[in-house]
Structure 1
Amino acid sequence: MSDHFLPGAPPIPLILRRSPRARRISLRISQLDGRVTLTLPRGVRDAEALRFAAQKEEWIRGHLDARGADVVVRHGAHVPIGGTPHHVVPGVGRRIEIAAGRIAVPGAAQDVGPRLAGHLKQLARNRLAEASDHFAARLGVRYDRITLRDTRSRWGSCTADGGLMYSWRLILAPPEVLSYVAAHEVAHLVEMNHSPAFWARVTDAYGDYSRPRGWLRGQGGDLHRYRFAP
């Protein structure tokens, strides 16, 4: 794997990787983080892949523009909580305060992102535990534990021994989306599959899940645009 750039304003980082299974050059743009990856068959030179990317420049830039730019979380940024944008502003004292569309984060500028991420993770844990308890009671099941991660490929999962895992970024989404994901994973405690019986259990727990499921498919990737690292 190697890193290159597509020149222009701005230059676009390109990741070149080789695969023994590839039969031709392929191009992929991640909706999660906007990474542009070129997969090359063996024997294809980097220069040929870069020429291929140059031919696709208009398409690449169009997709990146549609995705939107990443948001570095710092004072002045806007971050959604429960689907509602909040303005990140300097705070006083030691506690993070969230009220009236504002997030007051005290401390040094370089600590704003990590501090806010820690606060949001705790908030996510509380709300996901509450939702999981609610849906577990409705379906007459019990879970063993909840863990939070910053997953790229899924919003939640359920293990055979009763463990529920959620993406903490669900706290950024509208409340009904967070609730749907909790209902989805709790329903797996009854049906460890995606059969019609499983979806019937999701409906029993949540009701009509079409809107939050559609939101995740259409807008869920945007939750990964927020960068909390310093």
Structure 2
Amino acid sequence: MADHILPGPPPVPLVLRRSGRARRISLRVSRLDGRVTLTLPAGVPESEAMDFARAREAWIRGHLADRPDAVQVAPGAVIPIEGEPHLVVTATGRRVQRASGQIGVPADRPGARLQAFLKQLARDRLVAASDRYAAALGRPYARLTLRDTRSRWGSCSSAGALSYSWRLALAPPPVLAYVAAHEVAHLAEMNHSPAFWATVARLYGPYEAERRWLRDNGHDLHRYRF
């Protein structure tokens, strides 16, 4: 639906979305990009939805103010790599150089070069984990691709194709491994039934801490702009 504006300093764009499953008007502020979505049940006029948003303006602005600031990746920035903070510094040569607590990047296009490094790191780790869990499950996957997805950390198609967010290279290694086990488990159970979660536990072990980490901290991995 067309965007609407909540006036004020500054104006806040609102995305109105109509849903046949919604039973009441609801608001959501994305932790990833700050998008404010107003969901309407069928038959509710837009004017009523806008009244709802205006009545909750303080709540909306409070959530927007609480969002972590974006980090432009360049020398001087600090980013997590495999869960550990690394200071970005300028390196000699044309290769990204990782050392304890530092990541050296060439002066030429540092953000793009570091992103390429992280994508390769994610691929190496995710291929190894996916291979390990697929072998344990006894079901091979068709292929593995990396994307910069916003709504999910991984997916598994009915044809057995696995897809992951390369930003998992920023997360602690157990979190990356849990996501791989989760998606490989879908090769056997294309659902989130008790049987599916039992398969995840069989492949990975206790996973509650890693799942909670993603829920509590995953949005922060999208702060980094390359």
2:188 corresponds to which letter in structure 1? V
Between 198-207 and 15-24, report the one with greater CA deviation: 15-24
Question: What residue in structure 1 maps to residue 122 of structure 2?
Answer: 124
Deviations 1:76-111 (A, max 9, x none): 111111111111111211001111111111133xx2
2:209 is matched with 211
Q: Superposed, which structure 2 residues align to 1:104-119 within 5 Å?
A: 104-108=104-108, 111-119=109-117
1:147 matched to 2:145? The reply is yes
Aligned to 2:76, the other structure's residue is in SS state: coil
Q: Deviations over 1:91-139 (max 9, x none)?
A: 211001111111111133xx22222112111110010001111111222
Q: Which amino acid aligns with 1:44?
A: S
Aligned to 1:75: 75
Partner Cα distance (1:103, 1:208) in 2: 32
Residue from 184, 196, 200 that aligns with 2:198 = 200
Conserved 8 A contact 2:90-2:106 = yes
Q: What is the Cα deviation at residue 179 of structure 1?
A: 0.2
User: Using the alignment, how far apart are the partners of 1:112 and 1:12 within structure 2?
Assistant: 34
Moved more, 62-71 or 160-169: 62-71
TM-score normalised over the length of structure 1? 0.83
Distance 1:60 1:106, change over 3 A: same
Question: Which runs of 5 or more residues in structure 1 are unaligned?
Answer: none
Shift of 1:52: 6.5
Give 1:44 shift. 3.4
* Structure 1 residues 18 and 159, CA gap change in structure 2 (3 angstroms): closer
Q: Does 1:44 align with 2:47?
A: yes
Q: Is the 8 A contact 2:15 2:35 kept in 1?
A: no
3-state SS of the aligned residue for 1:103?
A: strand
1:48-81 C-alpha deviation (Å, 9 max, x unpaired): 94x8656544322322343311212222111111
Question: Corresponding residue for 2:96?
Answer: 96
Q: How does 1:45-64 map to 2 (within 5 A)?
A: 49=50, 56-64=56-64
**Residue in 2 that maps onto 1:156:** 154
Work out the CA distance in 2 between the residues paired with 1:212 and 1:60.
Answer: 29
Q: 1:199 to 1:26 in 2, by over 3 A?
A: closer
* Residues 193 and 227 (structure 1), Cα distance of their counterparts in 2 relative to 1, 3 Å cut: same
Alpha-carbon separation, structure 1, partners of 2:140 and 2:19: 45
| Unpaired stretches in structure 2, ≥5 consecutive residues | none
Change (3 A) 1:104 1:206: same
Letter in 1 for 2:124: N
Query: Secondary structure at 1:63's aligned position in 2?
Result: helix
Compute the RMSD of aligned alpha carbons: 2.6
The residue number in structure 1 matching 2:13 is 14
2:166 aligned partner: 168
SS of residue in 2 equivalent to 1:193? coil
**2:47 alignment partner AA:** V
Measured after TM superposition, the shift of residue 157 of structure 1 is: 0.9
CA distance in 1, matches of 2:70, 2:6: 18
Output the CA distance in 2 between the equivalents of 1:78 and 1:172: 12
Aligned counterpart, 2:219: 221
